Structure 1
Amino acid sequence: MESDNWIVQNLNSALSTWNDKLTEIWTLLTQSPENFKGGAIWGVMVNVNDALKAIGYGLLVLFFAVGIVKTCSSYTDIKKPEHVVKAFIRFALAQGAVMYGMELLTAVFSIVQGMVSTIMSNSGMAQGVTELPVEIVEKIESVGMLESIPLWIVTLLGSLLITVLSFIMVLTVYGRMFKLYMYTAIAPIPISSFAGDTTQSVGKNFIRSYTGVCLEGAIIALACIIFSAFAASPPALGDQSLSAVTIVWNYVGELVFNLLVLVGAVKASDRIVKEIMGL
């Protein structure tokens, strides 16, 4: 609701910042790394990935040799056909994984992104917009000059908390995107460990961790959907006979609490995914 009152404008400005950041999060959750910021960052990561493939091939041979030494106790074991065939099949598969690692990671992301899109489209919740209730605006506008001083302090603190929480939340989502880029760039190194029977756990952990980072998007989307359900029922305004300061304080306090719950859920998305996947 538009108002000439500077206290109302202060609260509306904070809520506008929050809504903008929430919209940005929804956009980030539906955007692939290839299209993020016009694809310039993705191009750099692809170049780094290609450069590290040479090192990955070198480590591939090293891990293969280490695996042969660890699994074959004698030269006789090496001459057994089953050992030779198994070792070279593992080497060929690991080489293919290093060569097409980018495609493998992109496929994993696409699968998880499909899950995120399904969650968002079938939740039945539209992107919620948090607005200042008309009752709050009327209460604030009815306050005199002297009574507006404590009200100004309450709204200033509330606006500051809302703005800080909005930036913390969007930074967490940006952090997920950065982790996706880092995993993509460094992929040839851990994937090369698949060449050795004793080192393959490194590659498995890498794939699981990357999948976990992708799944963080699903957890964040669910958190935002749950918050939208909360936002559909605005915070209780309390007894209208109370003073404007008390009513506004109750409203801001409940709103900040709901935002804290959402920010906490978003920041805990990595821990939730680790618990789900047993990482």
Structure 2
Amino acid sequence: MDFLVQALTDWLKEILVGGIMGNLSGMFNTVNQKVGEISTQVGLTPQAWNGDVFNMVQNLSETLMVPIAGVILAFVMTMELIQLIVDKNNFHEIESAVFFKWIFKSACAILIVTNTWDIVMGIFDLAQGVVSNASGVIIGDAAIDISSVTADLETRLMEMDLGPLFGLWFQSLFVGITIWALVICIFLVTFGRMIEIYLVTSIAPIPMATMMNHEWGQIGQNYLRSLFALGFQAFLIIVCVGIYAALVQNIALDGDIIYAIWTCMGYTVLLCFTLFKTSSMARSIFNAH
């Protein structure tokens, strides 16, 4: 009878140990892969991220939005001319310099609208250059190395009783599921940012058409602030990953695998939270609304 109980116990231990080892391996590998992809994703310009989407957005902007922006520009600059004339003592004492000023502002406005795409892409090229330089300085090894913890883990697990083994298996399963949810959050932040960039840049000529008007110019200025916020959000993301990389280096220094599991989840939760906050932080820095 004792032989059968021992055989059943060993069989259950093998199942639980195999499940724990599988959960740990898949969990840490997934985290390492997704975190490693962050710096690559945010370091790409809109054109490099997806050429087909970039060409489609550029075509929409230049063929559909520019004509609409031209109509808005005509209206805005007409209002600007009226305002300039009215400001001069209600149509009295009008100086010829007023018209030269209006012509100059109109020429600048037309130049901005016709070169909107180059201006917008120039902002993201600037931000991408900053991110590329920062990546080599900030980011270290963001991979979680638990080899020192798991070197003899299977042997140590087989020496444990069924109760603690079952608890550890349940914890590894729960944390693994949580990590997968956090990985999805990381995906949403990195890919969602690029989709937002494409959406914002697709209508660029319209807000840019208001840049040279005194009253409507805030629209174009806020739009430019939002572009800088989107571009330099990538820099904040790189800083977040750099902080995460510094923190996870200490995970494998402890021999307690439960500590390693929960610490990994805690750091990953912290990373996801800060990634979601980078958008609002960037907008606050550039005062973009």
Q: One fold, TM greater than 0.5?
A: yes
Question: TM-score by structure 2 length?
Answer: 0.85
1:4-19 correspondence runs (5 A): 5-19=18-32
Match of 2:228 among 208, 211, 217: 211
Question: TM-score by structure 1 length?
Answer: 0.88
The answer (yes or no) to whether the contact 1:190–1:202 under 8 Å persists in 2 is yes
Match of 1:76 among 86, 92, 95: 92
What secondary structure, in the 3-state scheme, does the structure 2 residue paired with 1:170 have? helix
Match of 1:252 among 253, 258, 261: 261
For the pair 1:46 / 2:35, whether they are aligned, the reply is: no
Q: Per-residue CA shift, 1:66-117, capped at 9, x if unaligned?
A: 222334323336x422221221211111111111101001111111111111
- Residues in 1 aligned to 2:165 and 2:157: alpha-carbon distance in whole angstroms: 8
- Residues in 2 aligned to 1:235 and 1:161: alpha-carbon distance in whole angstroms: 20
For the pair 1:268 / 2:277, whether they are aligned, the reply is: yes
What secondary structure, in the 3-state scheme, does the structure 2 residue paired with 1:229 have? helix
The answer (yes or no) to whether the contact 2:149–2:252 under 8 Å persists in 1 is no
Q: Per-residue CA shift, 1:211-247, capped at 9, x if unaligned?
A: 110000000001101111112221663xx6xxxxxx4
The answer (yes or no) to whether the contact 2:142–2:245 under 8 Å persists in 1 is yes
The answer (yes or no) to whether the contact 1:8–1:140 under 8 Å persists in 2 is no
**Whose Rg is larger?**
2
Match of 2:34 among 21, 25, 34: 21
Q: Per-residue CA shift, 1:223-273, capped at 9, x if unaligned?
A: 101111112221663xx6xxxxxx443332222111111111111111221
- Residues in 2 aligned to 1:75 and 1:141: alpha-carbon distance in whole angstroms: 94
- Residues in 1 aligned to 2:53 and 2:275: alpha-carbon distance in whole angstroms: 24
The answer (yes or no) to whether the contact 2:141–2:245 under 8 Å persists in 1 is yes
What secondary structure, in the 3-state scheme, does the structure 2 residue paired with 1:75 have? coil
- Give, in angstroms, the shift of residue 146 of structure 1: 4.6
1:123-138 correspondence runs (5 A): 123=138, 125-136=139-150, 137-138=153-154
The answer (yes or no) to whether the contact 2:32–2:144 under 8 Å persists in 1 is yes
Q: Which runs of 5+ in 2 are unaligned?
A: 1-16
Q: Which runs of 5+ in 1 are unaligned?
A: 241-246
- Residues in 1 aligned to 2:127 and 2:158: alpha-carbon distance in whole angstroms: 48
Q: Report the equivalent of 2:47.
A: 34
Q: Report the equivalent of 1:244.
A: none
Residues 163 and 141 of structure 1: CA distance in aligned 2, closer, same or farther (over 3 Å): farther
Aligned letter for 2:247? F
Aligned letter for 1:131? D
The answer (yes or no) to whether the contact 1:7–1:140 under 8 Å persists in 2 is no
**Matched-pair identity in %:** 18
Q: Report the equivalent of 1:60.
A: 73
Match of 1:200 among 206, 217, 242: 217
The answer (yes or no) to whether the contact 2:236–2:278 under 8 Å persists in 1 is yes
Aligned letter for 1:47? N
